[in-house]
Amino acid sequence: MSFAMHVPILAIAAPLLGAFSLPLMAKVHHRLRDLWAIIVGAFTVAMIVTLAVQVFGGGIQVYTLGAEAPDATLGPEGFPIRITLVADAMGAFMALISALLGGAALVYALGFAQDGKGKTLSMSLLLLLWAGMLGLKLTGDLFNFFVFLEITTVAACGLIAYRVWESRPPEAAFKTLVMFILGGLMVLLAVALLYGEYGALNMAYLSNQIGGGLIDRMALGLLVGGLLMKAGAVPMHMWAPDAYGEADANTAIVLVANTQAGLYGLLRMLFTLYGGAATPEVGWLITSLGALTVLVTVLMAVVQHRLGRLVAYGAVSQIGYMLLAAGVALVTVGARPEFGQLALQGSVFHMINDAACIGLLFLCVGAVHRATGTGDLRSLGGLAHTERWTSGFFLLGALALAGIPPLNGFASKLMIYQSVFMLSPILAALAVLASILLLAVFVRAFQGAFLGPRQNVVSKPPSPAMLIGMGVLAAVVIAFGLFPDVMVRHVVAPAAEALWTGRDAYMAAVLGG
Amino acid sequence: MIGNLPFVAAMVLVVLGLWTLMTRRNLIKLVVGIVLIENGVNLLLVSLGYVRGGVAPIYTYAPEGTPVDIPMVMPTPQALTLTSIVIGVATTALLLTLAVLIHRHRGTLDVRKIRELRG
C-alpha cells in the first residue's frame, strides 16, 4: 500500500538518480554501466506502467511532496501550498509514450553508441531528458513545470551537441537552445504574471481562479507561444529538422518524445488551466498553425537528399496533424459536439502512433548510417540486399507514417480527417494531400536507399540491441494498426476525456470536494 | 508611480534583449541578449514579492511583539527567482560552450557565415 502510493515520485526520481550515478558506474567498468542503465530503464518503465494501471483503473493519482501523507494536498488553511504531482489519464498516457521511446532509445544506444565517443555521457543525458519529460507530464505545479521544461532543454541540447568533434551538431544545438530558452522564458513570464495576479502556482487552484481578464490573456499568449516553440510548429520550426537531423538515432527519438511533451504542455494549459476561458480564436490559431506546419514541412521534405533530414521533416509534419486536430477540438470546446471529441481522440492517438513509426524510421536511419557511414540518398543504394531487417523496418515505418491501412498511422489519421472535415472540408483535403505527398517522399527515399543494384561497400549489420529497439517499435506499429479499437477504448478515450471534460475532476482531486 | 519602476525596468530589459536578438549577428551578443531577457524576467519575479515595510518571512525571527498588521514579505517569488537564476547560469554556460565549439570549427562567430544547416 505505502509503496504503491509513492509510484509517481519514484517514476521521476529513478531516471534522475540513474542519470547522475551512471558516470560513476562507468568509472568502475563499462559492463557495470550497461547493466546499471538496463536496471534503471527497466525500473522506470515498471514504475510508469504501474502508474498507468493505477490511473486507468482508479482515477487521478495525487502525490504531495513533503506532506505527512501523499494525499494531503491542502495546507492547514485549506490552500494548496505544497508542490503536487497530479497524474490524470492524459499525463499517464504521455508517460507511457516516454516509456516506449525512452526504453527503446536506451536499448538501442547500448548497441549503437560507441565507447570512447561519449557513450556514457549520452546515455546519462538520455536518462536526464527522460526524467525531465516525466516531471513535465506529472507535475501539478506551474513553476515546477518551468523547471522541468528547463531540465529537458539542457539535456536535449547537450544530447544534440555531444558529438563535438563534428562541426554541425554544435550549430544545430545552439539554434535549438536559443529557441528553447526563449520559449522557457516566455513560460516563466506567464508564470510570473499568473502568480502576480492570483498569488498561487498550483495548476488546479489557478484553473479555479482564472477568469479571462487582460493579465490572463497575456499569460495565455505567452504560454501558447513558448510551448509552440518547444513543440516545433511553423513558424518556430527552424530548429527541429536541424536537431533531429544532426542528432544520433537514439537521441532523435527521445527528442520526438520531448517535442510531444511540449505539445502535451500546450494541451494541458489550454484545456485544463484555461478550460473555461479558452476562446475559439485560440483554437483557430492552433488549427491554422497546424495546417501550415503540415504543408510547409511536407514540401520541405520533398527537396531533402539526406535521409536524416528527410525523416526529420516527416516528424515535424506529424506534429502539424496533432495541432490541427487539437485546434479543431479547441474551436468546438464550448459547444462540445461529437466531432470535437473525435478530433481530440485522434490528436492524442496520433501522438503514440507518431512516436512509434517516426521512432522506428529514425532508428533505421541510424542503422543505415552505421552500415554505410553516410546518410546521403545520392550515394546510397541497394541496401536491401544486405540489410534485410533494416529495410523491412524502414518500409513498415514509412507506410505507417503515410497512413496506409492496416498500420497504426491510418487508424489515427482517419479520426483526424473525419473530424477536421466536419469543421472545414478544405483543411481536411489539405491534410489528405499532404499525407499523399509524404507517401511519395518516403517511397522515393526507400527506393533510393534500399532498392537498386547491390553496391560493393563493406556493410556493418545492426547489433542485437539495435534490433530489439527497432523490433519493439515495429511491434507497436503493427499491434496498434490491427487493434485500434482496443487501444482507443481503453487508453486513448480516457486520456482525451481527461482533457475534454476532466477539468472538474482534476480540480476536485487536488482541491478536494 | 515610483513603486512601478521595477516593472518598467523589467520590461525595458526584456525589450532590449529581444532587440539584441533580432539585430545582432554575433553569437556572443546573442547570448548577451538572452541573458538580458532572463534578467528582466527575474526582476519582474522578485518585484512581485516586494512588500513595503515588510519583515523577513521567518516566524521565529520576527520582531518581538509583531502586530498582525506588519506584513511579511512573500517568500515564494524569492525562491522562484533563485531557482530561475541558477537555471539561467546553466543555460548560459551551455550556450557559451556551444559558441566556443562553433568558433573552434569555423573560425568565426558571425551567424551569416556559419549557416551550414539551411533548408
B98 with A157: Cβ contact below 8 A: yes
In a domain, B29, yes or no: yes
pLDDT band at A433 (very low <50, low <70, confident <90, very high): very high
More confidently predicted of A265 and B112? A265
What's the pLDDT score for residue A458?
65
How open is the CA angle B83-B87-B89, to the nearest 5 degrees?
A: 120
- Of the residues A157, A164, A174, the best mutation for testing chain B's interface (the one with the most B CB atoms within 10 Å of its CB) is A174
Q: Of the candidates A212, A225, A248, which has an alpha carbon nearest to the alpha carbon of residue A368? A: A248
**Residue that the C-alpha cell 529497439 belongs to:** A469
Give the whole-angstrom CA distance, residue A156 versus residue A448. 31
Torsion angle, alpha carbons of A363, A367, A373, A377, to 10? -70
Three-state secondary structure call for residue A87: strand
* DSSP-assigned letters across all residues of A33-74: HHHHHHHHHHHHHHHHHHHHHHHHHH--EEEETTSSSTT--S
Three-state secondary structure call for residue A248: coil
Q: Of the candidates A54, A93, A50, which has an alpha carbon nearest to the alpha carbon of residue A492? A: A93
CB A254 within 8 A of CB A107: no
Q: Which residues contact A191 (CB under 8 A, 6 or more apart)?
A: A142, A143, A145, A146, A201, A219, B80
Give the whole-angstrom CA distance, residue A130 versus residue A15. 7
Name the range with the highest mean pLDDT among A267-281, A346-360, A365-379. Answer: A346-360
Shortest alpha-carbon distance between residue B44 and chain A (Å): 7
Q: What is the mean pLDDT of residues A433-452?
A: 90
Instruction: Extract the C-alpha cell encoding A21.
Output: 550515478
Q: What is the 3-state secondary structure (H, E, C) of B13-42?
A: HHHHHHHHHHHCCEHHHHHHHHHHHHHHHH
In a domain, B8, yes or no: yes
Residue among A164, A171, A182 whose CB faces B117 most closely: A171
Question: At A74, phi and psi to the nearest 5?
Answer: -95, 145
Give the whole-angstrom CA distance, residue A400 versus residue A484. 13
Q: Give the pLDDT confidence of A166-216 residue by residue, as tens digits.
A: 888 999 999 999 999 999 999 999 999 999 888 889 999 998 888 878 899
**Residue that the C-alpha cell 546515455 belongs to:** A123
Q: Is the pLDDT of residue B33 over 90?
A: yes
Instruction: Extract the C-alpha cell encoding A165.
Output: 568533434
Q: Give the pLDDT confidence of A87-105 residue by residue, as tens digits.
A: 999 999 999 999 999 999 9
Give the whole-angstrom CA distance, residue A325 versus residue A344. 6
Please return the burial class of A4, using the count of CB atoms within 10 Å of its CB with bins 0-12, 13-18 and 19+. exposed
Q: Does B72 touch chain A (CB under 8 A)?
A: no
What's the pLDDT score for residue A277?
64
Left if phi > 0, otherwise alpha if psi is -120 to 50, otherwise beta: which for A17?
A: alpha
Q: Of the candidates A271, A293, A295, A272, which has an alpha carbon nearest to the alpha carbon of residue A283? A: A271
Q: Does B80 touch chain A (CB under 8 A)?
A: yes
Sequence-ordered alpha helix ranges (H) in A113-238: 119-138, 142-161, 168-198, 203-209, 214-231
In a domain, B105, yes or no: yes
Q: How many structural domains are present in chain B?
A: 1
Instruction: Extract the C-alpha cell encoding A287.
Output: 488549427
Q: B32 to chain A: nearest residue by CA?
A: A178
Q: How many residues does chain A have?
A: 513
Q: Give the pLDDT confidence of A60-73 residue by residue, as tens digits.
A: 999 998 887 887 88
Three-state secondary structure call for residue A97: helix
In a domain, B58, yes or no: no
B94 with A195: Cβ contact below 8 A: no
Q: Where are the beta strands (DSSP E) in B1-119?
A: none
Q: Is the dihedral of CA A331, A87, A60, A63 positive or negative?
A: negative
Residue among A171, A195, A300 whose CB faces B116 most closely: A171
Domain encompassing residue B8: 2-52+71-114
The CATH number that applies at residue B107 is: 1.10.287.3510
Q: Of the candidates A107, A100, A5, A3, which has an alpha carbon nearest to the alpha carbon of residue A49? A: A100
ipTM above 0.90, yes or no: yes
In a domain, B60, yes or no: no
- Of the residues B34, B74, B94, B114, the best mutation for testing chain A's interface (the one with the most A CB atoms within 10 Å of its CB) is B94
pLDDT over 90 percentage in chain A: 61
Residue among A177, A196, A242 whose CB faces B95 most closely: A177
Q: Is the pLDDT of residue A340 over 90?
A: no
In a domain, B62, yes or no: no
Q: What is residue A492's DSSP assignment? A: I
Helix (H) or strand (E) holding A86: strand A84-87
What's the pLDDT score for residue B119?
44
Shortest alpha-carbon distance between residue A178 and chain B (Å): 8
Give the whole-angstrom CA distance, residue A264 versus residue B60. 43
Give the whole-angstrom CA distance, residue A492 versus residue A344. 9
Q: Which residues contact A211 (CB under 8 A, 6 or more apart)?
A: A276, A277
Give the whole-angstrom CA distance, residue A57 versus residue A6. 17
pLDDT band at B114 (very low <50, low <70, confident <90, very high): confident
